[in-house]
Amino acid sequence: MQQEARSTFSSNRKTVFKISSSLCTFNSSGLPVQKLCGSNSNLSMAKHVNIDVDYWLHTADTPLVLLLWLVELSNIKSLTVTSTTLKVLSRVPGLLKTEFSFLCNMKSLKVKRKYPSSVPDGLVEFLLQNSP
């Protein structure tokens, strides 16, 4: 049985995750305003991740929180993100100059174009640099 965790974030609401050990899919939309639960979380076992961050609502902390999510979810096999998510991620200072040793098991990366938003140069390659 496939398990799924969903989260919808907003700046005035916190979400608590209750997740079983057989989690397969993690979906998130809105703003990632909090860290995931760290290495003690079963989210690190997720295989398929979908993230949709609204660019127009992000805060100064959102890009770094999003990057930390990708580090914590580093065992995923597939990642689907929106172009606005990549645009927020591109706000991490010096990101493309960083050695990103995560996402080594990722076999699929999908980018969904949202609004008339372009994908920032170099971000797809950055996410794929360690994939098989």
- Rounded to the nearest 10°, the torsion over CA 36, 38, 40, 41 is 20
Give 28-79 pLDDT, tens digit per residue: 888 876 767 655 566 777 889 999 998 888 888 999 999 999 988 888 999 9
Rg from Cα positions in the chain: 14
Query: 24 pLDDT exceeds 80?
Result: yes
| Phi/psi at 106 (5° precision) | -70, 120
Q: Tell me which amino acid residue 132 is.
A: P
Half-sphere exposure of 13 (CA within 13 A, CB side): 8
- Rounded to the nearest 10°, the torsion over CA 66, 121, 94, 76 is 40
Residues found in the chain: 132
Domain ranges of the chain: 3-128
- Which residue is it, tokens 């080594």? 104
> In angstroms, rounded to a whole number, what is the distance separating the alpha carbons of residues 23 and 3?
5
Closest residue by Cα to residue 73 from 95, 41, 117, 29: 41
Inter-CA distances, 57 with 8, 32, 42, 63, 91, Å: 13, 11, 28, 12, 13
Whole-model pTM: value is 0.77
Query: 81 pLDDT exceeds 90?
Result: yes
Lowest model confidence (mean pLDDT) among 25-29, 86-90, 110-114 = 25-29
